[in-house]
Structure 1
């Protein structure tokens, strides 16, 4: 911990200087929101639709209608962001309790894993025997939490699916035909009236869906977590069984609100309707702009926000405002304390309590033996510990290194040998002279008669001192004579050369011994160096570990991008499972889960590329973002094929 603080203090001035230089020399690009665009309507798509509406506008009401379309997109984006934020919290809590349900040891966790306050309350219930009124085991309590959280997640996913489904009508498909028309005059004359009719319908349906969804969501949440414990479980079970309630409620209420607004417009325009001989049914073209503004107000009131007034805003500015507004809003679903996931302190409060008790006992012990309490024990213990460390350091680090240095630079050169090379060469030369004199005297005494000599020995290897001594000139002749003399040892001991040959062999034995001593001396020198190296191994380990720690402390290793991308890959796997579930059952809950899983992939990928993709070269993020946005669009039908292509093409989803 102390080393980490020191490292941060050392790096802080360098980081500040680098950030200052970066701000001065480079222009910071605008940061986009990391939330998934509602129904795939990102800045590019919104700008296309908004430009088509403003270019086709021919009256102030039509210009105002384009601003109302942008305000509706803001409301849909805010609603999607808030639902996704609450859904992430609920799903995270649900995953925690499901994991605890699979791990077992429910009683120990429910008693000791929810904080000291919960522990005191549970112990109080056990002492007062209040648990006899409700015979609920720890497994039942965890299962109850799972049921309630599943109900909340089902409610939120259905609401999210309703918002994204109705927000998909904001695409205004006529804008694509308008962009692709070859004749601008002919294209606008036929498409402009229909374009504004689609805009009115999309605005009314989207706002009505937002208002109805959030009003119904509040009631559902109260029904699940606000009732008594028995009613809470019954409501949770009912919500799990009836997963399509909110999906059926949303479109029906939206169309009913659309009909009411149309009839209200007919009452206000009664004079024009009474003058007609055949009264016509209310159509979408008859809806006034004021009624559309009222629907936006109702949707904003259901969200509990107030949109800033602004005309002529760009799509980027409007979506940035929506992101900032949704970030400031409180959560829609406030989980009760008995459902919430316990914090890390609550889960491990026993460990932290024991660690705190040990720390307090250690502090009191140190205080009693310190100079503050009039004791010198700490100084004595510290001095003894320092002496032991210094002695151990000197014995196992400094001394082996010094010995190794001496072996390399001093002992290897200055150490005296048992037998010197000069003595060996002198004795060897003396042996050679003895052999030469013996051969000459023997030939003179026997008048040139030579003893029979066997096959010549093999040539000795180069550098072998013992073999060189055995192969001296005259040595073989002397040994043959020695063999002949041994046939009559008593006579030859007096009259022959037997005694002389024995003395020559003694000289040869001396030379051989000196040769072996020289070789042994070389082996001892090599062994002494090896022993010194082995003794210095602890010193090398300590020095190497110190260097590695210092190097890592000064130059931290770069992050492992494969490990950092693991949450994104797992989120992509969950997205593919959600797509398969939607293909099997197209319920509102599965639609909402698909949007939620897609939002998780978008958030993880955005975070990764923002941290690691800082180069100015080509990047995968633009194409990956476009594919994720297309998956969020309700107009995109080949979602499974697109997801498989993404897993196959992008490196972020590979190991």
Structure 2
């Protein structure tokens, strides 16, 4: 019982570990029913073998897809882009060889540019063809594996061991077909197909075919040998695919961007020499002065365009709330002046015309009466002033009206200035806000930049 518990624990641990594999399509297998019927034997390792096969195939397809997408993009480019690729994206040696070939064709009075574009098209087309064929082979193999698993799905519940062994033999046959296809692809792309290793495994393959006739009688040793053979073929497949992809892979990043890296290195060297020339190492205080000026400029910009405008906005807003009562008193003072003028108008009109006016009479009507009396008094100004006329009183009323107009205008001007102070402070801080917003946008785009869904 203790050994059985240990065996069950090891099996469950192995299954949990297999679930942490790289994401791929799930196997159409009845795991729950199988886990309850199988113990930790050699036949149960076939599950792990199948999952390892799928993981390796998906990894190889992902590698092929990355390189295929690159060459397909180059194939869709113009002739100028293809010529640029041949000269500047394959390394310095390719640039020298391509330049020599261009000069040679030019001397021979041939169309050197057309020949270069034709060579690029042939190179790109060859790689697209090989990688596309390899991807199609791996996809067909993957589909056939899933078909075989689907065929054995019902038998896995009834007779799991026999179904698993039959599945193992079927996968071995699929591996043989895939090896033959890749070997043919190797031959067409002028790469050795490593036929010696295939011949060394033919004896084990024939043994598996013989054992397939009596699948229910396999021993643990025979199952172990068959699983080892599958892993050998899987490793050989990885080696062949890697060799084929390495022959037709896209150029390395350092080759594709060697011109940029070279220009960057030269520019960095020139900048380093220039910095050393203006630094303390050469006895020059230029860099120290520039740093000091840059520091002062930054501080001034921060103070003038961010700190002071923000403080001004803050002070203006808080002052508006703190001194709100002062604004109310100013409005009341204007109202007192207006009430005083209204009473003066009522008294003047009542005294001069002998009529009684209502308290709510408009100032405009009363002013018309005052101005009429004022015009009459101006006919004889000296007599009106000396003889106790109404001219001085009418002039004082006009002075009161002028005072009211001035106070009203000052109140409106004060409100306009308060509003404009906030606007000017916001405008002064606007450059700093724009720079901060631009920096945040660039930082966000750099953090969330999409590098592409590889292998999608």
TM-score where L is the length of structure 1? 0.50
Change (3 A) 1:198 1:362: closer
- Displacement, 1:336? 5.7
- Displacement, 1:341? 1.7
Q: 1:217-296 residue pairs with structure 2 within 5 A?
A: 217-227=181-191, 257=206, 261=210, 284=214, 289=219, 294-296=225-227
Q: Could you tell me how far apart the structure 2 residues matched to 1:112 and 1:367 are?
A: 32
1:333 match: 242
- Displacement, 1:541? 4.1
8 Å contact from structure 2 (residues 67, 249) kept in 1: yes
- Displacement, 1:372? 0.7
Change (3 A) 1:53 1:501: same
Matched residue SS, 2:142: helix
The structure with higher relative contact order (CA 8 Å, sep 6+) is: 1
1:359 match: 268
Matched residue SS, 1:36: coil
Q: Could you tell me how far apart the structure 1 residues matched to 2:308 and 2:233 are?
A: 81
Change (3 A) 1:457 1:81: same
Deviations 1:286-345 (A, max 9, x none): 86546655544443433349xxxxxxxxxxxxxxxxxxxx9xx76733246562123444
Q: 1:86-485 residue pairs with structure 2 within 5 A?
A: 86-104=60-78, 105-127=81-103, 136-171=118-153, 173-176=154-157, 178=158, 198-210=163-175, 212-213=176-177, 215-227=179-191, 257=206, 261=210, 284=214, 289=219, 294-304=225-235, 332-335=241-244, 339-400=248-309, 409=319, 429=340, 432=343, 436=347, 439-440=350-351, 467=363, 470=364, 478=370, 485=376
Q: Could you tell me how far apart the structure 2 residues matched to 1:427 and 1:67 are?
A: 108
- Displacement, 1:376? 0.9
8 Å contact from structure 2 (residues 383, 389) kept in 1: no
Q: Could you tell me how far apart the structure 2 residues matched to 1:427 and 1:458 are?
A: 13
Match of 1:48 among 19, 22, 33: 33
8 Å contact from structure 1 (residues 439, 478) kept in 2: no
Gaps of 5+ in 2: 1-15, 193-201
- Displacement, 1:98? 1.1
1:616 match: none
Q: 1:11-50 residue pairs with structure 2 within 5 A?
A: 32-36=20-24, 39-41=27-29, 45-46=30-31, 48-49=33-34
Change (3 A) 1:498 1:102: farther
8 Å contact from structure 1 (residues 114, 347) kept in 2: yes
Deviations 1:236-273 (A, max 9, x none): xxxxxxxxxxxxxxxxx9xx9589626xx9xxxxxxxx
- Displacement, 1:533? 1.6
Q: Could you tell me how far apart the structure 1 residues matched to 2:315 and 2:42 are?
A: 90
Q: Could you tell me how far apart the structure 1 residues matched to 2:173 and 2:43 are?
A: 14
- Displacement, 1:106? 1.7
8 Å contact from structure 2 (residues 316, 422) kept in 1: no
TM-score where L is the length of structure 2? 0.68
8 Å contact from structure 1 (residues 38, 167) kept in 2: no
Change (3 A) 1:110 1:538: farther
1:584 match: none
8 Å contact from structure 2 (residues 71, 124) kept in 1: yes
2:7 match: none
Change (3 A) 1:167 1:372: same
Give the aligned length.
Answer: 415
Matched residue SS, 1:334: helix
Matched residue SS, 2:242: coil
8 Å contact from structure 1 (residues 96, 341) kept in 2: yes
- Displacement, 1:518? 0.7
1:517 match: 406
Matched residue SS, 2:241: coil
8 Å contact from structure 1 (residues 401, 539) kept in 2: no
8 Å contact from structure 2 (residues 90, 255) kept in 1: yes
- Displacement, 1:150? 1.5
Gaps of 5+ in 1: 1-28, 55-65, 179-191, 229-252, 266-282, 306-325, 444-449, 461-466, 572-599, 602-655
Change (3 A) 1:285 1:81: closer
Q: Could you tell me how far apart the structure 1 residues matched to 2:68 and 2:424 are?
A: 59
Q: Could you tell me how far apart the structure 1 residues matched to 2:270 and 2:409 are?
A: 63
